[in-house]
Every structure is written in C-alpha cells, then in structure tokens.
Structure 1
C-alpha cells in the first residue's frame, strides 16, 4: 500500500510540468474591481434603505 503511494507520488512529479505557462488577461483586474464596486453598491442599496425605512417606522411609532 505504501509502495503505491510512493509510486503515485513519483509519477505525478514526473508527469507535471515545472512551469505553468498561464496567462492572465489585463482586463481581469478591472473585472475584479467592477465586481467589488457592484458588491458595495448592492450593499448600500439593499441594506441601507431597509435600515432607514425601519428607523422611520420606529420614529413614527414613537411620535404616536
């Protein structure tokens, strides 16, 4: 059993390349920034407005 693991480790080390030759498009960074800005905007619209509406409701109840 241990010999199989060693053999598998050796074979995987031999078969895998040393370098990745990967390419990241320059537009990927802008896509990440756009996503982060969208998350912040969605948070402000969908969390901030209901909180403000809830506060207005509490103020109305306190006035009565």
Structure 2
C-alpha cells in the first residue's frame, strides 16, 4: 500500500516540475548584495565557530606527539 502512495507522490512531483509558468519577477541589486552578504556572513560564522575546536584539537595532537618525541630524545641522551 505504501508503494502506491510513494508512486503517486513521485508522479505528483514530476507533474509539478514539468508545468511551467512565467513569473514576471526580478531580483533588484539590493537583494543581490544582501544574498552575497548573507553568504559571506555564514562563511565567516563557520570559520569562527570551527576555529576554536580545531585549535583545541591541534593542541592535544601537539601535546601527544611532543611528549613522544621528548621521551625519545631523552632516551637517546
């Protein structure tokens, strides 16, 4: 029974995508600059948000491998 429903759903989506009409709409320059600003703001937020955890992981990684290299240097001396 769910297969029939799924087939009808996909048929409905295909029909909706095939029917086209004119929109008579435009994007003014203000909207375009707003979209660009939004994309840049999202990118900056991602860099800022992920920057701190990456620094923490780098510090942990450096501590682990620095201890191993220090212990190897101490053993050779």
Query: TM-score, length-normalised on structure 1?
Result: 0.54
* Aligned ranges 1:1-40 → 2 under 5 Å: 20-40=23-43
Residues matched between the structures, number: 47
Structure 2 distance, partners of 1:19, 1:47, is 42
Runs of at least 5 residues in structure 1 that lack an aligned partner in the other structure: 1-17
How far did 1:40 drift?
1.1
Per-residue CA distance 1:9-29 (angstroms, 9 max, x = gap): xxxxxxxxx754435332100
Q: Which residue of 2 aligns with 1:52?
A: 55
TM-score (norm 2): 0.47
1:62 shift after superposition? 2.7
Who is 1:43 aligned against? 46
What is the CA RMSD across the aligned residues, in angstroms? 2.1
| Structure 2 spans left out of the alignment, 5+ residues | 1-20, 68-77
